[in-house]
């Protein structure tokens, strides 16, 4: 099991959103696969380039 912090950035490299995820990688006969991807938090940190106020997730 692995944990990572990801950052979504705009064209100007300004941070838009940040999230923490945990993911499980398993070995299968044909190679490594991601078996689970869990989002712990999603935090808006700035305006969205889509003009939706920086919403994180489906709108």
Q: What is the mean pLDDT of residues 24-43?
A: 87
- Tell me: the pLDDT tens digits for 15-29? 888 888 899 999 999
Find the domain containing 16 and state its range. 2-39
Instruction: Give the contacts of 37 (CB within 8 A, at least 6 positions apart).
Output: 21, 22, 23
Residue 25 in any domain: the answer is yes
What is the value of pTM for the model shown? 0.51
Number of compact structural domains in the chain: 1
Residue 29 in tokens: 């006969």
Residue 33 in any domain: the answer is yes
Residue 10 in any domain: the answer is yes
Residue 15 in any domain: the answer is yes
Residue 31 in any domain: the answer is yes
């Amino acid at each position: 099991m692995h944990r990572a912090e990801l950052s979504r950035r705009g064209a100007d490299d300004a941070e838009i959103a940040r999230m923490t995820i945990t993911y499980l990688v398993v070995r299968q006969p044909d190679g490594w696969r991601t078996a689970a991807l869990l989002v712990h938090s999603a935090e808006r940190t700035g305006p969205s380039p889509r003009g939706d106020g920086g919403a994180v997730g489906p709108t």
